[in-house]
Amino acid sequence: MKILVCIKQVPDMESKFKVAAEGTWYDNQDLAWRMNEYDEYAVEQAVRLKEQVGDADLTVLSIGSDKVKETMKKALAMGCDRGAHIADDAAWNKEPFQVAGIIAEYARDKGFDVIFTGMQSQDRGSGQVGVLVAEMLELPSVSTIVDFGYEAGTIIAKRELEGGIKAKVKVQAPAVVTCQLGLNTPRYPTLPNIMKAKKKELLSIPVAELLKVNARMETANMFFPEKKGGGLVLEGEAGELADRLISILKDKTTVLK
Amino acid sequence: MEFTREIYWNVGHGATTLVPMYLLVIVAIAVVVKMFLQRREVYRQGLPLNRTDNLGERISGMLVNVLLQKKVTRVKMPGLFHGLFFWGFFLLLIGTTLIVLQADFTDLLFGYKFLKGTFYKLFSIILDFAGLISLVMLGALFIRRYFFRPEGLETKKDDAIMHGLMTFILLTGFVIEGTRMAVTELGTPVASWSPVGHLLAQSIAWMGEDTLRTLHKLTWWFHLLMVMGFIALIPFTKFRHILTTSANYLFADRGPKGQLRSLDLEDESSETFGATQVKELTWKDIFDADACTLCKRCQDRCPAWATDKPLSPMKVVNQIGEAAFTNSEANLIDLIGKDVLWSCTTCRACQEICPASIEHVSKIVDLRRSMVLMEGEFPGDEVMTAMEATEVNGNPLGIGYASRGDWAAELGIKTLAEDPEIDILYFVGCYGSFDKRNIAIAKSFVKLCQAAGVKVGILGKEEKCCGEPMRKMGNEYLYQSLAMENVELINGYGVKKIVTTCPHCYNTLQKDYRDLALAAEVETYTVYLEQLISSGKLKIRSEGLDCTYHDSCYLGRHNDVYDAPRALITAAGGTIREMKKSRSEGFCCSAGGGRIMAEEKIGERINIRRVNMAVDTGAGVLVSNCPFCLTMFEDGVKGAGVEDKLKPKDIAELLAERL
């Protein structure tokens, strides 16, 4: 069995973000980088599937500069067998159709039985890449899965729908699934696996070899939401707080009028 | 009249006495040697560890602890009983040795006798009282164990054998003396130099010489048999501690206190990290179990045990020993239990009080290392999240690393990247940098330094967690990566002196970072500020304050800093109402051992227990010296519902208010 899991390196969401000078993306300065949260669920599920079937080869793929290899090493330490690094210093500027195009081009002749992706990235958040990959490879896809089972070539997954409702879906592999929060708790890599990961295959492929599609979308402008009021936290003694609250309600609202 | 007595009176000094007697001695000693050689094979299952370096100091340390019973007598009543019993018995041993020396060597070979005259008088009266004191103390220990048994004092067959045998040996000793004196000394001035024997002799003199002689002879042989039995039983019973506990003083950890063994993570040939089996611990970890006397002093002081958590340090030590002797392949983590191992706060109360120099904490950390490094396991998901947050942002709180220095924005201090010319580097730590309540400590400390004209620098966003909570939780890998980055950075700036306001940072930089070649001198803010005040550089207004003071485990037991913080409080005009458990007996706040990252799910909350101890003093302010403690106490006063009665405060805040 061959499994592919696609991951993205994203800034930690606790970071202080600034819009970069060109105004279409964030500035990289002072950011801490980590694996996209949803991709962690994807890696964990891919590793669990490999452990379940035993005889499987699990590739982790990531697009970006050399820096993303750090994040790929975590996936290798979690249990992926090999890494495919698509070297692209301008990956931040690729739109979802291009990203999917690169992945599909890489995966096309490799015969993957199951492809895992996160349901979206924490930074761009388009939620398109996984399903686009499936379309390009003419594979079925199941998005936002919160439960995953595999038996004799059949994937049985639960999808999250609106309002907490879940749908149970069956699909024949090969297929693409995109992973949602709640699917699993990603493991903490053990030290022997971290050490083994350092020796695993991690090949870099220039993005030019795989980028065969044109962009269909362009980011025109990036900006912080306009400040419209916002929250107010009152602190102090209870009596004084009540007085202040009443005066705010009187001044700024109509509820007391 | 000559003050002396005939040795081997009535039993004879010929071959019929000496041959069987010395044969018994040889047999008894042979049993001891053989059994300990067997036990040594069990100890040797453990990893090597050099505990015979600095032999001179080790030996003097052992002698002090054995002969003066220094550690044993730290717990007053039972300690004194044991001490007096030991001293009595030890004198009897010396007395017997002198007798053997004279009768079978100096007198036999050279015709020289020294047990006579004034020396004999002293010899006689000292041994007489030594016997009496031993017997009375044994009785006191017996009553304590069997009639007023303190909670948790395990009592087994061993204890009955030991009490019985010791009592019989002492009683028969007196019978031998009494019968001999009844026949030979009654009415002579010699008798008054053995008052107990004299009393006994007077009361049995009616039996007549023949009966007394028979009784004497029989008792003499019976006494000898029991003494030899006692020696032979040493390896089989808790009598073992006579040798093993003494030896453990010799093999004791010579510090720095609480420094953990660094794992070699670069070693490509290592396949396992930490310990799951006996063979992955050191030989000393197995030996410790043999040195344990089950006195339960550790258990009595364990904050986890006191709040109904499953951890008893005594039990952990003995489970490891039992596994080593009965089933060395056993998985220690399953045997001891994960909840037990995660409950430890590494507060060191167990190790500090242990009268046998046993090392409890490093065993627990070694077992935790295996759980974390080999299985990726933690006490809860919240701990794993904190570990991952630290990997990404260099702090367990998960706040963006770039804002680490933001707290100092209005204080006019620079980072070393901006200006490396400084008097001291203030290593702020994660809580001082990010936690709203603890930022007040960091600000106060900087203001105090500025008032004293000290130029302070910080590392700002370049500083990372010191790695202490991670290391104590068992994550040696994460600790070492953080530590290496910090050490490289600090050494790179050529820092001469570092001051910390967090005792966990202090302990780590001061001790653990030495393995990674940190060059700078490291000091805790309490000692540093105390020097600034006493040298007149820092002037503090004295303003009355009724408070109690909590010794953090890492400033107190781990580093023996007890007086400087108290001096600071006094200098600020504070009067300290000590809590019941203070100084080396201080009770943990619950946050050590990496537990700051974990939820406390089992038993009563430790911090609430401690806060209530503070409330009991009647003082309105609980002064502490540690960001973890302060965090726990702020939480604890809410949990205990005493927010209006008790305000937790750090020493730095107290002082800064009085600038």
CA-closest candidate to residue B525, choices B609, B462, B449: B449
Chain A CA closest to residue B477: A191
Q: Which residues of B are less than 8 Å from A189 in CB distance?
A: 376
The pLDDT score that the predictor gives to residue A225 is: 86
The pLDDT score that the predictor gives to residue A226 is: 83
Radius of gyration, alpha carbons of chain A: 22
Percent of chain B at pLDDT above 70?
100
Distance of residue B263 Cα from the nearest chain A Cα, in angstroms = 12
Question: Smallest Cβ distance to A191: which of B273, B401, B403?
Answer: B273
Across chain B, mean pLDDT equals 96
* pTM to 2 decimal places: 0.93
CA-closest candidate to residue A27, choices A36, A12, A17, A35: A17
Q: Is A187 on the interface with B (CB under 8 A)?
A: yes
Q: Is A238 on the interface with B (CB under 8 A)?
A: no
With an 8 Å Cβ cutoff, are A15 and B461 in contact? no
How many residues can be counted in chain A? 257
Alpha-carbon distance of B193 to A100, in angstroms, equals 104
Mutation site for B-interface testing, chosen from A47, A191, A194 by largest number of B Cβ within 10 Å: A191
Fold assignment, A2-209: Rossmann fold (3.40.50)
Question: Smallest Cβ distance to A15: which of B388, B391, B402?
Answer: B402
With an 8 Å Cβ cutoff, are A32 and B400 in contact? yes
B427 strand-pairing partners: B500
Chain A CA closest to residue B393: A32
- CB burial string B216-245: b at 16+ within 10 A, e below: beebbbebbebbbebbbbbbebbbbbbebb
Amino acid at B401: Y
Distance of residue B390 Cα from the nearest chain A Cα, in angstroms = 11
Residue A253 CB neighbours (<10 A): 9
Q: Which residues of A are less than 8 Å from B271 in CB distance?
A: 192
Mean pLDDT of successive 10-residue stretches along chain A, which has 257 residues: 98 93 93 97 98 96 97 98 97 96 97 97 96 98 97 96 91 97 96 95 97 94 83 85 89 78
Residue ranges and CATH numbers for the domains of chain B are 15-244 (1.20.950), 278-375 (1.10.1060.10), 381-533 (3.40.50.1860), 540-656 (3.40.50)
Q: Mean of the pLDDT values across residues B427-456?
A: 97
Distance of residue A196 Cα from the nearest chain B Cα, in angstroms = 10
The pLDDT score that the predictor gives to residue B1 is: 63
Calculate the alpha carbon distances from B31 to B9, B231, B243, B332 in Å. Answer: 29, 9, 14, 31
Q: Is A233 on the interface with B (CB under 8 A)?
A: no
> Longest C-alpha distance within chain A, in Å?
72
With an 8 Å Cβ cutoff, are B388 and A188 in contact? yes
The pLDDT score that the predictor gives to residue A250 is: 86
Q: Is A33 on the interface with B (CB under 8 A)?
A: yes
Q: Does residue B187 sit in helix, strand or coil?
A: coil
The tens digit of pLDDT for each residue in B198-254 reads: 999 999 999 999 999 999 999 999 999 999 999 999 999 999 999 999 999 999 999
- In this structure, of A163-167, A173-177, B30-34, B351-355, the range with the lowest mean pLDDT score is A163-167
Q: Mean of the pLDDT values across residues B604-620?
A: 97
What is the complex's ipTM, to 2 decimals? 0.89
Percent of chain B at pLDDT above 90?
97
Chain B CA closest to residue A185: B381
- Tell which A residues from 101 to 160 touch B, by Cβ distance under 8 Å: none
The tens digit of pLDDT for each residue in B276-333 reads: 999 999 999 999 999 999 999 999 999 999 999 999 999 999 999 999 999 999 999 9
- Tell which A residues from 2 to 21 touch B, by Cβ distance under 8 Å: 12, 14-16
Alpha-carbon distance of B228 to B25, in angstroms, equals 6
Task: Decide if pLDDT at B141 tops 90.
Answer: yes
B650 strand-pairing partners: B624
Q: Are A30 and B393 in contact (CB under 8 A)?
A: no
Tokens 């502490």 sit at which residue?
Answer: B624
With an 8 Å Cβ cutoff, are B374 and A30 in contact? no
Q: Mean of the pLDDT values across residues B134-153?
A: 96
Q: Give kind and range of the element (H or E) at residue A68.
A: helix A68-78
The tens digit of pLDDT for each residue in B356-374 reads: 999 999 999 999 999 999 9
Task: Decide if pLDDT at B354 tops 80.
Answer: yes
Q: Are B521 and B591 in contact (CB under 8 A)?
A: no
Q: Give kind and range of the element (H or E) at residue B138.
A: helix B117-146
Question: Smallest Cβ distance to A14: which of B273, B372, B398?
Answer: B398
Chain B CA closest to residue A71: B392
Distance of residue B479 Cα from the nearest chain A Cα, in angstroms = 13
